[in-house]
């Protein structure tokens, strides 16, 4: 029972992490700014996932204390995974910035940067 519950917890995190990674790589910069993970949205999702996990575990085990322990372990694993994904995204962003150039130019293609630079020169 315990392994089934932990497998469900890890599977849930893997699906959300894959969705976040695919969203981050397939969405334009303008849309990506709107898809940032806000803390209230994360907190509501986390609590909803833990509620579903806790209810399901209680229905399977019929033991409150075992359910509480497994739900706390699941919460810890989700937080650990979330932290790992954030570190991965920061490292990836840092490597992209070092490859592309100056941090002020982040998110712009070389073509767009040249267009913006030419417009700035015209206005001076």
Any idea where the domains of the chain sit in the sequence? 2-123
Helix, strand, or coil here: 24?
helix
Question: Which is higher by pLDDT, 69 or 2?
Answer: 69
State the chain's mean pLDDT as an integer: 74
CB 12 within 8 A of CB 75: no
CB 108 within 8 A of CB 32: no
Task: Tell which residue, 4, 23, 17, 10, has the closest CA to residue 76.
Answer: 10
Which tens digits make up the pLDDT trace of 42-68? 889 999 999 999 999 999 999 999 999
pLDDT of residue 1: 56
pLDDT of residue 20: 53
């Amino acid at each position: 029972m315990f392994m089934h519950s932990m497998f469900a917890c890890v599977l849930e995190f893997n699906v959300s992490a894959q969705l976040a990674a695919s969203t981050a790589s397939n969405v334009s910069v303008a849309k990506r700014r709107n898809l940032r993970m806000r803390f209230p949205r994360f907190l509501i999702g986390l609590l909803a996932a833990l509620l579903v996990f806790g209810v399901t575990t209680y229905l399977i085990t019929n033991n409150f204390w075992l359910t509480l322990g497994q739900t706390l372990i699941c919460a810890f694993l989700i937080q650990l995974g979330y932290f790992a994904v954030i570190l991965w995204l920061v490292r990836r962003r840092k490597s992209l910035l070092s490859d592309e150039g100056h941090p002020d130019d982040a998110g712009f293609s070389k073509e767009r940067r040249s267009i913006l630079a030419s417009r700035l020169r015209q206005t001076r």
